[in-house]
Structure 1
């Protein structure tokens, strides 16, 4: 389990995170929501050790995340950031193979190749596995990066706004993939989302951040109500918009 204990982060006089305490349930999807500047991406970066906190502790399976060797942590936890810029001329398969680096470095074993094959099939990339990344559409690139994370085969998967710049169809495809990873592979997924529709339809739990604090943390059904969302976002919200029976069929 990933636990966050009294995490704080500050830039100058600006407090970004202020005493955040959380536990992320195993095998479930937890979405981090909140307005811009609420601290969502900062928290995700601290959990993944990409950013140092000013105070508090993050533990992964009971061990302080700062005590892990890089290779060992990369076998437990993977992260997909908002923007990914690889300037090398790589095929889809070569990119997905990077997910196995924490295990075999640059010498892939038969097991590694099996993991790569499985990830490519899981993301339905077999027909373009030899295509170059820079020749793909935005949706195809996102699937390729997702496959790289799947090939890494960590228990914990962290994603920072993976739906950015994706159209509705590819956004739904991405969220359905994450749902399958949790349900079929028992992955623990922590995801930063701006779209409340997607959070309401695919999350098991939602953490609502506001002004650097955890304002609410509960099951999705208990978070998606007008009182909570209006408090988090400071705007009037009609929760009927998030009712599964009233949204477009893309979500089904």
Structure 2
């Protein structure tokens, strides 16, 4: 009962699973929530810590199911100290080809889901004296890009939702921050980023590489820990400098090399 507890959505793979592993390394207990039963089962098997983990299969856009899942995690572990809103989906289409149904689904998962999850979790956190929320937004919510009309808009909305939540929940002892990943070497990125796309990204990332899932997990855990006790309402880009570069970086790099 004295061990802290985190609930992570979209925890079946990628950044969510890496975050679950990081919390477990620090002695936390973790509820892993995912919409895909097979991914969730595989994640639980890889973590192999049945006494410290709980699997919750749920669609974060389903308010009834999500509230029940949050309450089940609290009842199972006896407390809830952190919520990581990581679940997200994307539709990569031009704006004029994106259907209303696709737009609605992306916003339901990426923006409404975190709203509902925090509504469900905050009262339970407050019972225990407070806690921390980390919303996983995206560099696409800070910089516009092609083929991301729904995804980028949902993540921009999530960045502002983070600030709203931070302001309103501070009186309950709950801090709310966001992590905005840049390009990360996830299985999804490896599947959809062609060599040409990867080269384009490398040209505009000062650290000249994709991020690692473990690096995102480190930032997430830090923001949930007591070491971040005076940080709230912030959106932290974990992106190798991608958001800061603006335009013209490849040319400037080449010029510098020729000096």
On whether the aligned pair clears a TM of 0.5, the verdict is no
Q: Which fold has the larger relative contact order, with Cα–Cα distance below 8 Å and residues 6 or more apart in sequence?
A: 1
Q: Which has the higher strand share?
A: 1
